[in-house]
Chains A and B, each alone.
Chain A
Amino acid sequence: MADQLATGSRRGLKPALPLLLPAYLWLTVAIFLPLSAMVFFSFMTDLPLAEKEWAFTLGNYTAFFSQGLYLTLLLASLRLGLEVTLWCVVIGYPAAYVLAKVLKGRSREAIFLLIILPFWSNGLVRIFSWAMVLREGGILDTTLNAVLPFKINIDLMYSYPAVIIGLVHSYVPYMVLTCYLTLQAIDDSLIEAGRSLGASRFQVLKRVIIPLSMPGLIAGAALIFVPVVGSFMEPRILGGRTGTFYGTIIEDQFVAVFNWPLGAALSFILLAVVLIILALAAPVLRRAG
């Protein structure tokens, strides 16, 4: 419903082409064509290099099902993606609401910018800094022990929670800003009207605000869930020996054993799963709104 209402005032591909072509041509040259070469590789037994023999095979895809390992890790990665996305919603949505509806004027613009600024620093340096905070005898441990009357031992480093903290930190700005974009667009008079008709704050939130801001929530969730499922850098450094995920084994195929065909097949399986989840989730989320 919302889809049809909000879009498509006009029909036809022709008038849309001048606007679409530059972006999609660029994507085609720099991403789709290169990735099609990878799709091609994923059906080969070996790379087409001078000294190697190769043939077509489905083996790289069936390999996924032949070992429980891949499925276990894929599920672990999906769970990680889901948890990080949920935390980002829980933390980011209220912040977006305050930013859009409570703060006014210059301070809003300033905070809008301040929220994304940390991501102009280097990702690896940020992860190293988190290591300083989370480790035993690190900043969190020391501070809490200085404040609290009793002795506690905090060593979150190299654990699953550390991975979650690091990833939520990296991705929560996406949620704040996309939700802000749709929340800010909601006319204040709509909210006031609801309130004056006797609806409680909660009802207004549930009936008016959340449904109207749904596009932002969905966009934010997609921009977080999708890359987190394939991540390997943050889990490896912050997760230590618990930091092995689906992204790790894809990386191994490329970096450690030079088996590009298998690595490519594993990533296209990931892509397929992610797209299916998005396709299933989007209508459900929209209806929930």
Chain B
Amino acid sequence: MATTRILEWLGRFYIFLLLAFLYLPIIIMALMSFNASPFYQLPFEWTTDWYASLWQNDQLIAATWNSIEIAVITTFISTVLGSMASLALYRYEFRGKKLLQALLFPPIAIPWLITGTAMLIFFFGIGIGRGLVAILLGHVALALPYVIVVVSARLQTFAPELEEAARSLGANQWQVTHRVTLPWIMPGVIAGGLFAFAVSFDQFVVSYFLSTPGQTTLPVEIYAAIRKGFTPEINAVSTIIIVVSMALMLLTARFFKFGGEK
């Protein structure tokens, strides 16, 4: 038992190390938002000027709201559609299924630059053009494969007998899905949603091709800014986003259970 205890503590320490690795650049990003030098110059000189100028930067703020809006809608649509598709791929056996599964990889494998160019040409061709609608259309498509792959991985652990048992007890298809399958795959759906949000929120290339000057997203603004006027305002806005989402997430974790507790 003692060994188990020690191993458990080692495990916790390991998680701590991993989080330290993951958050190292985030902490530096946040620190630099309070540093006076626009070029991350050291020694550190405290300032809140970047937050003050961020407050004045309507363009950056508008782009941030666009990004949040698009990422939230993308997350919702791609999680719902993706989970449905995963269920179908799991539940049913049919010809061409392997092909459908293989088709999930082109959007991930083809560099976004090419996908973005292709989307621009095609969306023009069919009359959608550029703008927030086009960006949303593209983002959902990019996020879908991630959701399907992640949810499918979770579904692989699901015992089909459970669905059969529920059916034999007289549950209809909807009840089976709603009461049996969905609770089981929920951690997968949540993880897929988190990835979808990340894919959309940090998506630069495709958004870049599909945005118009008035309708742009945060990463597009950032990449355009580094040509000339990159300032730690970018760090400031990223820091605010991280702090707010961390608060939201910890609240969520406090009040909802989704980790698949048995």
Contact = CB atoms under 8 A, between A and B. Distances in A.
B91 A185 contact: no
Kindly state the interface size class of chain B when it binds its partner: 35 or more
Nearest to A108: B259
A193 interface: no
A13 B95 contact: yes
A38 B82 contact: no
A138 to B, nearest CB: 9
B110 A19 contact: no
Contacts of A111: 15, 19
A23 B81 contact: yes
A210 interface: no
Contacts of A227: 108-109
Given A10-B93, A23-B85, A30-B141, A271 B109 contact: yes
A27 interface: yes
Contacts of B12: 98, 102-103
Contacts of A38: 114, 117-118
B121 A34 contact: yes
Among all A-B residue pairs, the 9 with the closest Cβ atoms? A185-B157, A8-B93, A30-B141, A34-B118, A129-B25, A19-B88, A215-B156, A98-B11, A34-B122
Interface in A104-148: 104-106, 108-126, 128-130, 132-133, 139
Q: Is the interface of A mostly helix, strand, loop or mixed?
A: helix
A20 interface: yes
A178 B259 CA distance: 12
Given A115-B22, A174-B195, A98 B15 contact: yes
Contacts of A132: 28, 32, 40
B245 to A, nearest CB: 6
A95 B259 contact: no
Interface stretch (A53-61, A150-158, A259-267): A259-267
Contact of A19 (B84, B105, B188): B84
A279 to B, nearest CB: 8
Nearest to A116: B194
17 contacts: A12-B92, A13-B92, A22-B85, A23-B81, A23-B85, A97-B11, A114-B22, A181-B188, A181-B191, A184-B259, A227-B109, A230-B109, A250-B113, A251-B111, A254-B114, A267-B110, A271-B105
B234 interface: yes
Interface string B120-152: 011101000000000001101110111011101
A30 B25 contact: no
A243 interface: no
| Among B40, B113, B226, residue most surrounded by chain A Cβ atoms (within 10 Å) | B113
B149 A219 contact: yes
Nearest to A112: B259
Interface string A213-227: 001101110110011
Interface string A238-278: 00000000010011001100001001100110110011001
Contacts of A184: 187, 259-260
Contacts of A133: 24-25, 28
A113 B249 contact: yes
Nearest to B23: A118
Contact of B157 (A113, A182, A226): A182
A222 B149 contact: yes
A124 B222 contact: yes
Given A26-B140, A27-B141, A124 B226 contact: yes
Interface in A1-23: 2, 6-13, 15-17, 19-20, 22-23
A27 B119 CA distance: 11
B59 interface: no
Interface of B is mostly: helix
Interface in B78-109: 81-82, 84-85, 87-96, 100, 102-103, 105-109
A22 B23 CA distance: 37
Interface of A: 2, 6-13, 15-17, 19-20, 22-24, 26-27, 29-35, 37-38, 91, 94-95, 97-99, 102-106, 108-126, 128-130, 132-133, 139, 169, 172-174, 176-178, 180-182, 184-186, 212, 215-216, 218-220, 222-223, 226-227, 229-232, 247, 250-251, 254-255, 260, 263-264, 267-268, 270-271, 274-275, 278-279
Contacts of B92: 8, 10-13, 15-16
B19 A120 contact: no
Given A30-B119, A108-B259, A263-B114, A114 B28 contact: no
Given A115-B19, A227-B109, A275-B102, A267 B238 contact: no
A10 B241 CA distance: 45
Nearest to A227: B108
Contacts of B122: 33-34, 37
A16 B95 contact: no
B157 A23 contact: no
A32 B123 CA distance: 12
B88 A120 contact: no
B114 A267 contact: yes
